[in-house]
Amino acid sequence: MRLNDLDERIVHALAEDARRSYADIGAEVGLSAPAVKRRVDRLLAAGAITGFTVRVDPAALGWETEAFVEIYCRHNTSPEDIRRGLTRYPEVASASTVTGEADALVQIYASDVRHFERVLERIAGEPFVERTKSVLVLSPLLRRYSAGSPT
């Protein structure tokens, strides 16, 4: 489903704060609260909005170290194999298949560098992983959407 301009504005308002009232969103986009609710219900039914969630600051969980890891897989590794292998790690915030040399890019949060190193060693030991390449984040500069899932 392709969003029209009005639906896109509603989705952006919800992405900023999913707890906003329909009346508040309606005032911003020029619709009544019931009209906004109908549009949100339609977007949910069509699958354009996949749900509502809480965004938690990883630091609140004690996870202040962030890293991105490129995963290079052995031959004949499917995206589903990668997804299934990574779901066991609560430290993995997101994982995507990517273009370029790497097969996947994984975002990891850990309590400190030692914790990250242990997680990286476990991931590198997965049967589908040939090698990894990682970088630690020094300062996040811009974050618009939830790390764990699209908004």
The closest of 57, 58, 67 to 121, measured between CA atoms, is 67
Q: What are the extents of the domains in the chain?
A: 5-46, 58-136
Can you name the CATH fold of 58-136? Alpha-Beta Plaits (3.30.70)
How far from the centroid of its chain's Cα atoms is residue 61's Cα? 17
Inter-residue contact 67 to 110 (CB < 8 Å)? yes
Between 10-24, 26-40, 124-138, the lowest mean confidence (pLDDT) is in 10-24
Whether the predicted model's global pTM rises above the 0.85 cut:
no
Average pLDDT over residues 6-12: 94
Residue 1 vs residue 149, higher pLDDT: 1
CATH match of 5-46 with 3.30.450.20? no
Say how far apart CA 107 and CA 95 lie, in whole Å.
6
The two three-digit tokens of residue 117, written as one number: 């190193």
* pLDDT per residue as tens digits for the range 83-125: 999 999 999 999 999 999 999 999 999 999 999 999 999 999 9
